[in-house]
Amino acid sequence: MLPFTKTEIQKKQFLQMKQCMEDIFPHLDSGKELFSTFFPGAEIAINHHRGRQKVEAQDVLEYKIHELKQWIHQVLEQAIQVSVAPEKEIIAPKSIQMPFSMAEKLIQTILKIFTCGRDIADHDYYFLADVTGALTMEGGIVLKIIDQTQYEIRKSFFSILLEYLDEQQCFHCAILLYQAIRADKQIHPAEFKYIENISQLLRNDQAKLEQVEATCRDEFFLPPIQLNEELSIYLFRYLIEIVMCDEDYNPQESEFVRRVALLFDFDKQRQDEVIQPVAATQMVKASLFPKN
């Protein structure tokens, strides 16, 4: 990712947390007001060891909303803790009910916290699985939210990247992305989402996109790209993610990764430092959130 100081990262994470609660909590409060408007004086019958008792529905609703707010606040705080200290033991949140739109917003925010100034890791997905398990959400549904959120994060990143690279560097990066997509000589449905990033790098210039496609007809061509170490590592990681996104890492893709590593002048140790976490993360994601 683009470099941020620890203070900047923490500030961005807490802003994400604050924004999530500001988006969700007013809806909970308005729902409480709406209920009291439609059902003034409503009561709820509760089975108790002393017999059936009636309580004010408004009191029960207020308690549930307060409980939900505390749960959301705690989960978001834990997400920040996981992002900075993954070795710290985090107790899985208790089961709770929440409207789908709010659960979706919460998952999106957790992912944004995890990708603020860092790459998402396998232990992040374990925490996310605990959260979505507490919400009793199906893995396939969660996967769709993850993929959509990561798509938006990538799109935002490449918009920022345009400010750091000149036109030629953007063109060369686009070639590398396209070569990664077709490294196994075909484009899988899972890889289509990366095409838009190529268009972003080319500022949606159709003529340049056609030039990239023509250049990539030579499957062995890799551009003589010059990037700083931080961006080289990020791009290398991103290319590995592309070739592994279809959950099939074949010899052609392995050879492509090897040649890109040579292009970036990465030794075996540096390659392993990047490849192994990406591979682990992809496997954990596929295991915890299988496609329907």
CATH 1.10.3680 segments of the chain: 161-288
**pLDDT tens profile 101-140:** 999 999 999 999 998 878 888 899 999 999 999 999 998 8
Whether CATH 1.10.3470 fits 161-288: no
Instruction: Quote the pTM value.
Output: 0.81
**pLDDT tens profile 28-68:** 988 888 888 888 878 777 776 666 777 787 888 888 999 99
47 beta partners: 52
**pLDDT tens profile 158-204:** 887 888 888 998 898 899 888 888 877 767 666 677 888 888 889 98
Whole-number Å distance between alpha carbons of 181 and 204: 18
95: closest CA among 133, 137, 140?
133
Q: Which 3 state secondary structure label does DSSP give 45?
A: strand
Size of the chain, expressed as the number of residues it contains: 292
